Amino acid sequence: MEDAWGAARSAAQVWLSLVVGLIMLPAMFGVSLGITETYMKVLIKTLKWATFRIQKGRRERETLKPSPSNGIIQRDDGSMEKEIGELRRSRPKRPDGGDFTLSDVFYFSRKGLESIVEDEVTQRFSSEELVSWNLLTRTNNNFHYVSLRLTVLWGLGVVIRYCILAPLRITLAAIGISWLVIGTTVVGLLPSSRVKNWLSELVHLMCYRICARGLSATVHYHNKQNRPRKGGICVANHTSPIDVVILANDGCYAMVGQVHGGLMGVIQRSMVKSCPHIWFERSEMKDRHLVTQRLRDHVNDKTKLPILIFPEGTCINNTSVMMFKKGSFEIGGTIYPVAIKYDPQFGDAFWNSAKYNMVSYLLRMMTSWAIVCNVWYLPAMTQMEGEDAVQFANRVKSAIARQGGLVDLSWDGGLKRDKVKNTFKELEQKKYSSMVVGDDSSD
């Protein structure tokens, strides 16, 4: 009994010192020992081989089906005028151009059926489907049994991910979070000074680096010269809470968010001791004026860190960028757009909050192969003359979508939970009415 206990303790000690020495310390100082690189190389080779085997195993089909997010049905993007005009082709034109025919319903019924088969919005709120299986059970939708070797590889993958990688990552995450809380509290005890700011930035960076290792995150940052500066606002597309860790790995930001209870609350309270973040009470969030004022005060103080905001307001599945809420664009600071694109081959980073809560989501992250993503810093943008907040928001959104290779949608991310506003239907009705009535000016 004594021996077993002693053996367990020494094993834990060895484990901990390995973790600290090989992973945590280099991470804290931004140095890489090359372990992750080797792991990624092996992983890429293995997945390539697996893809090859699956392709060989497919009956008759040589070509891989393209990604479903490219669309499965042919959609005529003709306008209402063009389509209904074609339907009415066989009738003589009336002098005022307006008409009603029984066949007008064809246009609406086809559009309706098309949207039932496939629509632009609902697919953005669930994980992207992969073209080829990446040996994770969770992404196995349409892939059938192919070969024994592949199954063995998958089994090996399960063992490695759950028994080796997951405990490692959980340990790192625990160390990272506790260090964040302790470190920021300690720094918070110092009087306000340049030293305090520098130390606070250091502590934040180190902790986020440890957390990033805790997710096996491999991030490629592009265009670092455009990195957000003090007194600015950083906006990015939102896929998951991990976005914060990814961005904070490379720079220090002031976070904006709601006050939470529990562990999140503890983290929030200690973070704000060392440098100013903006946490809102739930009741304050409803008062838009108050929110804008607080953000504006923060931005106008040029010594404070840039704010990090996700204008979509909710997590989207990283295939598209949805409507940016105009609130962040009314504050008046310089906007630094950032595009984040995850590589779904190694792990799906999207948080489907309807399906998984935060803890199970984090566990899923820690049992994926890795989180690989690209971060592009885009040049700063400011509101132009004669441009209102909505147009400015759309301009920034298009720039981010273009850089990240994402689809640019005007639909509101809030449609995840809410019904669509009736005004859009009324717009369609108005458009159709003008086709029925024509341009008769004698009214």
Among the listed residues 1, 102, 359, 384, the single contact to another protein using CB under 8 A: 102
Span of 30-38, 65-73, 210-218, 336-344 interacting with another protein by CB under 8 A: 65-73
Nearest to 237 by CA among 291, 313, 296: 313
Span of 11-19, 82-90, 249-257, 344-352 interacting with another protein by CB under 8 A: 82-90
| Measured CA distances, 304 to 146, 185, 187 (Å) | 56, 19, 17
Alpha carbons 413 and 212: distance in angstroms, whole number? 27
How many angstroms separate the first and last alpha carbons of the chain? Answer: 98
220 vs 355, beta carbon nearer another protein: 355
Alpha carbons 181 and 269: distance in angstroms, whole number? 9
Among the listed residues 32, 38, 79, 126, the single contact to another protein using CB under 8 A: 126
Under the binding rule (CB under 8 A), the answer on residue 118 touching another protein is yes
Under the binding rule (CB under 8 A), the answer on residue 379 touching another protein is no
Contact call for residues 443 and 105 (beta carbons, < 8 A):
no
Secondary element (H or E) of residue 232: strand 232-236
Instruction: Provide the minimum distance between the beta carbon of 436 and another protein in the complex, in angstroms, as a whole number.
Output: 6
Among the listed residues 53, 111, 269, 364, the single contact to another protein using CB under 8 A: 111
Instruction: Provide the minimum distance between the beta carbon of 80 and another protein in the complex, in angstroms, as a whole number.
Output: 10
121 vs 170, beta carbon nearer another protein: 121
Contact call for residues 275 and 253 (beta carbons, < 8 A):
no
Under the binding rule (CB under 8 A), the answer on residue 37 touching another protein is no
12 vs 113, beta carbon nearer another protein: 113
Burial of 24 (0-12, 13-18, 19+ CB in 10 A): buried
Burial 345-361 (b: 16+ CB within 10 A, else e): bbbbbbbbbeeeeeeeb
Under the binding rule (CB under 8 A), the answer on residue 120 touching another protein is yes
Size of the site for another protein (CB under 8 A): 54
119 vs 297, beta carbon nearer another protein: 119
Pairing mode, strands 217-222 and 371-377: parallel
In the block, which residue shows the tokens 């929030």? 268
Among the listed residues 96, 119, 284, 287, the single contact to another protein using CB under 8 A: 119
**3-class SS of residue 118:** coil
289 vs 430, beta carbon nearer another protein: 430
Under the binding rule (CB under 8 A), the answer on residue 201 touching another protein is no
Helices 262-274 + 194-213 axis angle, to 10: 150
Span of 12-20, 72-80, 252-260, 326-334 interacting with another protein by CB under 8 A: 72-80
Under the binding rule (CB under 8 A), the answer on residue 442 touching another protein is no
Alpha carbons 334 and 434: distance in angstroms, whole number? 42
Span of 67-75, 221-229, 263-271, 279-287 interacting with another protein by CB under 8 A: 67-75
Instruction: Provide the minimum distance between the beta carbon of 136 and another protein in the complex, in angstroms, as a whole number.
Output: 16
Under the binding rule (CB under 8 A), the answer on residue 112 touching another protein is yes
Contact call for residues 150 and 157 (beta carbons, < 8 A):
no
Among the listed residues 10, 32, 79, 109, the single contact to another protein using CB under 8 A: 109
Token pair listed for 175: 């160390």
Among the listed residues 225, 429, 441, 442, the single contact to another protein using CB under 8 A: 429
Span of 34-42, 117-125, 185-193, 273-281 interacting with another protein by CB under 8 A: 117-125
Cα 256–241–163 angle (5° rounding)?
A: 145
The residue type at 164: I
Instruction: Provide the minimum distance between the beta carbon of 357 and another protein in the complex, in angstroms, as a whole number.
Output: 18
Under the binding rule (CB under 8 A), the answer on residue 64 touching another protein is no
Instruction: Provide the minimum distance between the beta carbon of 147 and another protein in the complex, in angstroms, as a whole number.
Output: 19
Contact call for residues 376 and 265 (beta carbons, < 8 A):
no
**3-class SS of residue 307:** strand
Q: Under 8 Å CB-to-CB from 270, ≥6 apart: which residues?
A: 180, 181, 184, 185, 188
Under the binding rule (CB under 8 A), the answer on residue 408 touching another protein is no
Among the listed residues 25, 87, 219, 255, the single contact to another protein using CB under 8 A: 87
Under the binding rule (CB under 8 A), the answer on residue 433 touching another protein is yes
Nearest to 311 by CA among 319, 299, 321, 298: 321
Tell me which residues touch another protein (CB under 8 A). 60-61, 65, 68, 71-74, 86-87, 90, 100-123, 126, 141-142, 411, 415, 419-420, 424-430, 432-434, 436-437
